[in-house]
Amino acid sequence: MRPSNATLSAPGPSDSPPVHERPRRTQHTPPRPLRVRAARSLSSIFMVGPALAAVVAFILIPVVVAGRLSLTDWDGFSDSYKSLGLDNYVQLFHDPGVKNAAYVTLVIAAVGTVACNVLGLGLAVMLNGEGRVKAILRGLFFYPHVLGAVIIGFLWSAILSSEGAINTLLNAAHRSKIPFLSDPHWALASVVFVVIWSTFGVNVVLYLAGLQTIPESLLEAARIDGASRWQTFRQVVLPMLAPTVTINVVLVLVQLLRVYDLVLAMTDGGPAGHTQTYAYLVLSESFLNGKIGYASAQSIVLMIVITVLAVVVVTLRQRSEKAVEQ
C-alpha cells in the first residue's frame, strides 16, 4: 500500500511558523574598551574642571576664610589677632545698626520682589508677540539693567535731590519741594522705587521667554472651550510659567538682599542711616572701621539667610507645581 502524497510531502514555505513566533536573535553590545571609558571620563573632568575650580576658588575658599575670620577680632592690618569664639555673632544680634539695616533690606527685598515680578509678568503679557512698537518697548524696559548700579544711583540722585530736576520744576511752578532724599520715609520709598525701576526689565525678558514656550494649541483649545482671557491666563498660562516664576523670584530676592552700590551712589545710606542696607553696613561701615572679624560674621549671616530663603522659595514652588499636576 503506497503512502499518500500528503504524508510524503515535505513542509513548504507556507508551513513555516509565523514571523512573530520565531525566536528573536538577541544582540549583545560588546563592552566598551577600558581605554574608551577612561578617555570619556577624562574629557568629562576637563569640561567640568574649570567651573569646579572657579567655584572652589571664588566661593568655597572665601566662605571658609570668612567663617574662620568671623571668630576673631582681626582688623585687617595686624599680623596677630585674638580668637573670640561666637562673640561677634552675639554682638551682631544685639547691634541696633544691624537691626535697622536688616529692616531696610527686608523692606526693599519684599516690596521689590513682589513689584518686579508683578510688573514683569504684566508687561510681558502685553508685549508678547511681534511688532516694532513691542520690540522697542522691550528694549526700553531692559535698558536700565544695562546701566551700572552706580550710574543709576547718581542719575536718580540728580533727579530727586533738593536741587534736582523734579524740585527745580516744582519751584518754578511755585510749589513746595518734596524731600525725596532728605526725609527718612521719602528716602526709603525713593530707594525702593529706583531699585524696582532698575530691576524689573530682566523679569520682563525672562517672562517673555517663558510665554513663548507655551504651545499655541493649549491657548487655542482654551479659547474654543469658551474660556475668557483671565481664565486662560489663570488656568493655562500661569501653571505653564511656574518654573519661570520660581527663577524670577529667586533671582530678584537674592539680588535685592545684596543691594549696596545703588544705595551708596544715591543716598550714601542717609539720611541718618535710614536707607542703609545690610550689605552697605557690612562693606561701608565694618570694613572701613577695621572690623574685619565682625564684618565676616555679618557676611556669614547674610549668606545663610540668602541660602535659606532661596531653598524655601524653590521648595514651596515645587510643592505647588506638584499639587497642580495632581
Cβ 300 vs Cβ 70: under 8 Å: yes
CA distance 56 to 47: 15
Three-class SS of residue 72?
A: strand
Kindly list the structural domains of the chain, giving each domain's residue range(s) and its CATH number in brackets, ordered by start: 96-325 (1.10.3720.10)
- DSSP assigned state of 16: S
Q: What confidence score (pLDDT) does residue 301 get?
A: 93
Contacts of 201 (CB under 8 A, 6+ apart): 120, 141, 142, 143, 144, 145
pLDDT digits (tens, 9 = 90+) for 122-168: 999 999 888 888 889 988 999 888 888 899 999 999 999 988 899 99
Q: What confidence score (pLDDT) does residue 200 get?
A: 93
CA distance 157 to 266: 5
Cβ 274 vs Cβ 69: under 8 Å: no
Residue with the three cell numbers 567651573: 51
CA distance 205 to 115: 15
pTM beyond 0.85, yes or no: no
Contacts of 313 (CB under 8 A, 6+ apart): 246, 249, 250, 253
Got the DSSP string for 149-186? HHHHHHHHHHHHSTTSHHHHHHHHTT-PPP-TTTSHHH
Beta strands in the chain (DSSP E): none
Q: What confidence score (pLDDT) does residue 31 get?
A: 54
pLDDT digits (tens, 9 = 90+) for 258-284: 999 999 999 988 898 899 999 999 987
Neighbouring CB atoms inside 10 A of 305's CB total 15
Cβ 269 vs Cβ 263: under 8 Å: yes
Mean pLDDT by groups of 10 residues along the chain of 326 residues: 46 50 52 69 80 88 91 83 89 91 95 95 90 89 88 93 91 91 93 94 93 89 87 88 90 92 91 91 81 90 92 83 64
CA distance 298 to 97: 12
CA distance 310 to 254: 8
Q: What confidence score (pLDDT) does residue 287 get?
A: 75
Q: Radius of gyration (Cα) for the chain, nearest Å?
A: 32
Distance of CA 212 to the CA centre of its chain: 20
One-letter amino acid for residue 10 of the chain: A
Contacts of 85 (CB under 8 A, 6+ apart): 71
